[in-house]
Chains A and B, each alone.
Chain A
């Protein structure tokens, strides 16, 4: 997290620290599911993507319940029973992060408390969460000023209108085009140095639903061109509710 602040314990109780292919983040759903980005499990262009999901589940590390990495490690790993990767995600396609969403089922349900609580999912009818300028918060254990963070940080970012995202993307004139699909949204600033970065992938973009008073996950940290050099791109959770509910159930 660039340009952010240190999170207090209990402010982002859904935040998970993952260690599958390097550091990543995730969010607790219910009491036994971790929502994260698919590419934290199957990185784009990685050679060892032939490993089975069962194997990866066996080896995955998931930590919950603290804002300090060291404390998280001390508190112990939450074993993973199964991994579900969205079928649209293609690790071999380095141009597209479409379908960059995954679910980890923990072997044992976690006991909820002040420092471990789930995030809500958005209502299927509510699209205002993605309106231009809608403020949200992202937390993560990712890189901050070129150093990977040992504490949970958070930053407040506005969602950005699709046209702006596309327009900015088009202006970057990259040699390798990157797809901005409808299953994504972008957020952040063009000039303010506040953004998410490597190591934050899988963490969730959350907004406060003032009607219900609940924090809702609207996006998953997915990709960007550098860090704090423009907008960041997030998987649009609203488009994947059916897939999520199909796996975790209606609870």
Chain B
């Protein structure tokens, strides 16, 4: 009995070959090739005493705990079982060869010199990935997902989204830190629409640039383990936007479409140790975040080129009707612009328009003014007239006359738009008691 060293090829000869083999001989060879190979044995020369069922002399071949046959005889013999050019291939990396010769090789008193055999073996790569090559019938596949054979071995790989585990065989869903930065895309539970694995702690993060708002749309089918009485006790799909939870979902009714109003969305998918639901799939899109439609605070406010929709980085300009001032708090503005910010708010609040007030009219020395309009205020379009203290003074006006109007610029102006007020000049030579002679 000899252990054949682990070589990739070799030769096995019967004892004394090519001389006739001795009688009463049992020789055993255990062929062992490296792992990842199988043994392929071929007889180059085979000459043994033929007998019925190879009772006398024989070569027995065994591999993988199975008999591959018992052989004897010589080419052309009517009895025996000559292997011919048959290839003996093991399923494993071992093959057992046993030679047995009985006490004689006489045939009708004549010694016939049987030479024995010469066999060659070689190590043939085992394609571990071929299920037909399984050593045992109930042997499990070598790889859970993908098997890759190479000479002398094989390795496994996994589907996208799965990670090969330490046993180099099984694949576990890899979804704990999935990051999405494109403007739109798809995300789903592992293996969707096939049932999702158990014991998942998936975290899908959508991170877009500021100013964008993510919209989620659930596709069909939507199926997450649930319970009729208790809300999502087994598996949960949680959606968070900017750290704030939007909702927790399970069941078979799709959540439909969700507007997150955020550029940062996290989707957590937690599963327990069992279940057979098909999972979920989301198509996400993004658009510039929207700001509220600007609305004037009063009827004197004008929003230039009002648009039906305002989004991030859009702006609007506000002005007032003639005779009104733009006011922000107590401050008068020359202009106003508001920009839609990344968080969907306007960077300034809508201002208001206040009627222009010209203030008190300039007092006229040696005269006075009176309001023409009933309201008697100093607001835009109010009117006053100046007069002098007659008969001692007379009024001298510009070409614009003595009537002044509160203008849109906040000044009192005459009919010619001039701000200079009239003057009261002395009336000369008009005594109240002129000399009148009575006596003649």
Contact = CB atoms under 8 A, between A and B. Distances in A.
Contacts of A119: 428-429
A112 B429 contact: no
B162 to A, nearest CB: 103
B392 to A, nearest CB: 4
B431 A215 contact: yes
B285 interface: no
Interface string A182-218: 0000000000000000000000001011001111100
Contact of B426 (A31, A208, A209, A216): A31
Interface stretch (A5-13, A83-91, A230-238): A5-13
A117 interface: yes
A3 interface: no
B434 A209 contact: no
B132 interface: no
Contacts of A161: none
Interface string B364-382: 0110000000000000000
Given A112-B389, A112-B392, A112-B393, A117 B435 contact: no
Nearest to A214: B429
Given A30-B426, A31-B426, A251-B425, A114 B432 contact: yes
Given A112-B389, A112-B426, A251-B425, A117 B431 contact: yes
Interface in B406-437: 425-435, 437
Interface in B284-329: none
Interface in A153-200: 154, 156
A217 to B, nearest CB: 8
A129 to B, nearest CB: 12
Interface string B79-101: 00000000000000000000000
A216 B429 contact: yes
Given A112-B366, A112-B393, A120 B429 contact: yes
B428 A118 contact: yes
A113 to B, nearest CB: 6
Interface in A1-56: 8-14, 29-31
A127 interface: no
A215 B434 contact: yes
B434 A11 contact: yes
A117 B392 contact: yes
A117 B433 contact: no
A29 B429 CA distance: 10
A13 B434 contact: no
A111 B367 CA distance: 11
A8 B429 contact: no
Contacts of A9: 433
A137 interface: yes
A10 B431 contact: yes
Contacts of B430: 117, 213-215
A112 B429 CA distance: 12
B421 to A, nearest CB: 16
A10 B389 CA distance: 17
A234 B425 CA distance: 28
Contacts of B429: 117-120, 206, 209, 212, 214-216
B433 A10 contact: yes
Contacts of B426: 30-31, 112, 117-118
B432 to A, nearest CB: 4
A154 B431 contact: no
B394 to A, nearest CB: 11
B431 A113 contact: no
Contacts of B433: 8-11, 114
Contacts of B431: 10-13, 117, 215
Contacts of A13: 431-432
A156 B433 CA distance: 16
Nearest to A27: B428
Contacts of B425: 30, 251
A214 B394 CA distance: 14
A4 B428 CA distance: 24
A175 B427 CA distance: 46
A212 B427 CA distance: 12
A251 B428 CA distance: 11
B223 to A, nearest CB: 99
Contacts of A215: 428-431, 434
A120 B435 contact: no
B314 to A, nearest CB: 62
Contact of B435 (A11, A109, A216): A11
Contacts of A120: 428-429
Contacts of B389: 112
A29 B427 CA distance: 10
A206 B428 CA distance: 12
Given A119-B429, A214-B428, A251-B425, A113 B434 contact: no
B434 A117 contact: no
Interface string B390-411: 0011000000000000000000
A30 B393 CA distance: 10
Contacts of B432: 10, 13, 114, 117
B49 to A, nearest CB: 162
A31 B423 CA distance: 13
A172 B366 CA distance: 51
A243 B392 CA distance: 25
Given A11-B431, A212-B429, A215-B431, 18 more contacts: A8-B433, A11-B434, A11-B435, A12-B431, A13-B431, A30-B428, A31-B366, A112-B389, A112-B426, A112-B427, A117-B431, A137-B435, A156-B437, A206-B429, A214-B428, A214-B430, A215-B428, A215-B429
Going nearest first, the 3 A-B pairs with the smallest beta carbon separation are A214-B429, A112-B392, A120-B429
12 contacts: A10-B433, A111-B366, A112-B389, A112-B393, A112-B427, A117-B426, A118-B426, A137-B435, A156-B437, A214-B430, A215-B428, A215-B429
Interface of B: 365-366, 389, 392-393, 425-435, 437
